[in-house]
A = this chain, B = another copy of it.
């Protein structure tokens, strides 16, 4: 995946900072916090600022280049969007690896909500646990 193409496709300027952020996310199959990302990006681009990372995460998220995940344990995690369109995630609590999920529970429940007069606009479905690799090694 080409960082420049990704950015241009969204009418975003191609800056070294953005390329570094995308590189970090590409090289990780785990979901990362803003701080994690900053810690990695600064290795590539010493001198980059926190605020630049935060601002760009917001921009990339708004443009749909990233997904945001918010575990129960708190915090906000990001990952490169690997799948087009709406989807949910399965996340390993040990290694942080995230997999897209080809299933959305909303279909099953839409009529039930309609009966209650509730109009859904967003929803979230996230599954945490241990991936195959991390299960094998014991808990």
Contacts and interface: CB of A to CB of B under 8 A. Distances in A.
A82 B132 CA distance: 35
Contact of A124 (B112, B122, B124, B130): B124
A120 interface: yes
Contacts of A116: 90, 99, 131-132
B124 A129 contact: no
Given A109-B103, A135-B117, A122 B76 contact: no
A84 interface: no
Interface residues of A, number: 35
Interface string A7-18: 000000000000
B132 A113 contact: no
B72 A68 contact: yes
Interface in A97-127: 99, 101, 103, 105-106, 108-109, 112-113, 116-127
8 tightest Cβ-Cβ pairs between the two chains A and B: A117-B132, A105-B105, A120-B129, A123-B127, A121-B129, A122-B128, A119-B130, A125-B125
